Chain A
């Protein structure tokens, strides 16, 4: 292990990139929970679907076809899920929701196997983003920088929407107190629907973006689920600030833990989660203090 600055810069960029990827996934999940009080364990499966849609689209139209089509396709799946399932389960307790979405995970796992087969698929980075960029004294892959930039852009866009637009205000009102918001004349049902679909679209986008970096396999949804859940629980449910904070914490702990203490790294993140749950169960920046 060296004390060379370039090494640490590299690792910091790695941590940032991992954080942004998790942010794309967790923001959808946390706002869905914050607004609808609905735990969607199948979020990871939607991410996997996004990756598969992107791989199929890219085989025909190149990377960018996948990049734009995957979120739309997954949002479409979200529409189906919402009208068929979620709407009815919204008022049920957390256990029923956990179980229904658990069942969804199982079902979607086999559906991806049936439609796309068991073999792993690959997706190539677009030529525009292939290669490396010299940055802060290191050569860093352009595609990873793209992920960082995309994550920050989405964060910025969502922050703007949530704080400066009317629909953002309505969402925040709904998160604070949906019954009261409905009394004020806000169409809370429609809001939930929009939020759910946008959440699904973001999960699909995360899948499409992650696909060239990782591999597209049937169990990728299961693998990303636990990190995503950890992120939103540490960060705090329902808020944008919580999602970005949780993602950054996870990304940096995971990356630097792997470098400094690899044997402990996997236990470390769970210990951190347990600590947060015990000391501050609602997370660091929950939507409702």
Chain B
């Protein structure tokens, strides 16, 4: 169950304006970074959906992004389909794969679930790496971007592509909110809080989990398609478990279960990587220490901390007497 609070709206407005400002004023490398942030944000929204709102911590979302990317690459280059059809196909394939994974892993919990998703992700990675169809370690190049010349947009221009990605991200965010507010989203929330009780109420729990995982897969697939179009090249590294790990890091850094937090986390993570990387070749160390610090601080990431500190105050000020408060937002001991 997801609700927009004034704080979240504010954060969204802030992020959106910063992104638009960057899109219109930045030079080429700035646009590259913006697009990288936006695509990562798409993936982490998908991950937050299942991990933050469904309690299913997944280490295969990187692989799902890879499936989307490779799906688009194969459909458009090897099978010669038009970009729009290839995009739709790739997204659908990824959604289906994710649904199957979700269904198979539905019976596992906690660390076993994490391991199961890791296993599937690695299977995908091994398969893509070795199948000659996918070009192996050298990857596949020559991927074309979507042709929007009908509405006067040349996506081969960095700025247009960045703006297009922003548009896609906004759409994805909207879809994620709709899903989380729907009946399915509420069921998911129930499952996360008490699976046994939901089963007792007659809910087919595995199907709820699979459905949400599948929807998350659709989003991840779209992120993958955008990634493939951005770089115009795919390589097996996209499916590696470390990509999934990094996505998880970003969600935690931003704030699990807030949907807005991961957006912030994506921006912070990418910018940090670039800044630190420019200073030293040991940026893994910095990121590692930062991650440890964030997790140990018990705050729910950066945005979770902001919400805990200030959210309650703002909420109370804007609250109605009749409105029922979501317990998660009033907790101050995170």
Nearest-Cβ distance from residue A8 to partner chain B, whole angstroms: 26
Interface bin, chain B: 35 or more
Q: Is the C-beta of A39 less than 8 angstroms from some C-beta in chain B?
A: yes
Is there an interface contact between A277 and B288, defined as CB atoms closer than 8 Å? no
A106 to B115, CA, bound (A): 19
Q: Is the C-beta of B29 less than 8 angstroms from some C-beta in chain A?
A: no
- Type the 1/0 row for B126-144, where 1 means its CB is closer than 8 Å to any CB of A: 1100100000000000000
Select B126's contact among A33, A39, A85, A267, beta carbons within 8 Å: A267
- Type the 1/0 row for A218-235, where 1 means its CB is closer than 8 Å to any CB of B: 000010001001100100
Q: Is the C-beta of B295 less than 8 angstroms from some C-beta in chain A?
A: yes
CB neighbors of B among A165-197 (8 A): none
CB neighbors of A among B100-149 (8 A): 104-105, 107-112, 114-116, 118-120, 122-123, 126-127, 130
A34 to B269, CA, bound (A): 34
Is there an interface contact between B291 and A99, defined as CB atoms closer than 8 Å? yes
Q: How many A-B Cβ pairs are below 8 Å?
A: 116
Q: Is the C-beta of B205 less than 8 angstroms from some C-beta in chain A?
A: no
Q: How many residues of A contact B (CB 8 A)?
A: 42
Q: Is the C-beta of A214 less than 8 angstroms from some C-beta in chain B?
A: no
12 A-B interface contacts by CB (under 8 A):
A89-B295, A96-B295, A98-B248, A100-B295, A102-B245, A102-B249, A106-B284, A109-B288, A110-B282, A233-B115, A267-B126, A274-B123
A280 to B249, CA, bound (A): 29
For A279, give the chain B residue with the smallest CB separation.
B107
Is there an interface contact between B108 and A107, defined as CB atoms closer than 8 Å? no
A111 to B112, CA, bound (A): 30
Is there an interface contact between A103 and B110, defined as CB atoms closer than 8 Å? no
Given contacts A95-B57, A98-B114, A226-B241, contact A106 B108 (CB under 8 A): no
For A113, give the chain B residue with the smallest CB separation.
B282
Q: Is the C-beta of A12 less than 8 angstroms from some C-beta in chain B?
A: no
Residues of A within 8 A of B (CB): 33, 39, 85, 88-89, 92-96, 98-100, 102-111, 113-114, 222, 226, 229-230, 233, 237, 263, 266-267, 270-271, 273-274, 277-278, 281-282
Given contacts A233-B115, A277-B108, A281-B108, contact A99 B287 (CB under 8 A): no
Is there an interface contact between A104 and B120, defined as CB atoms closer than 8 Å? no
- Type the 1/0 row for B285-312, where 1 means its CB is closer than 8 Å to any CB of A: 1011111100110000000000000000
Given contacts A109-B284, A111-B285, A226-B241, contact A103 B291 (CB under 8 A): yes
Which chain A positions have C-beta within 8 A of B248? Answer: 98-99, 102
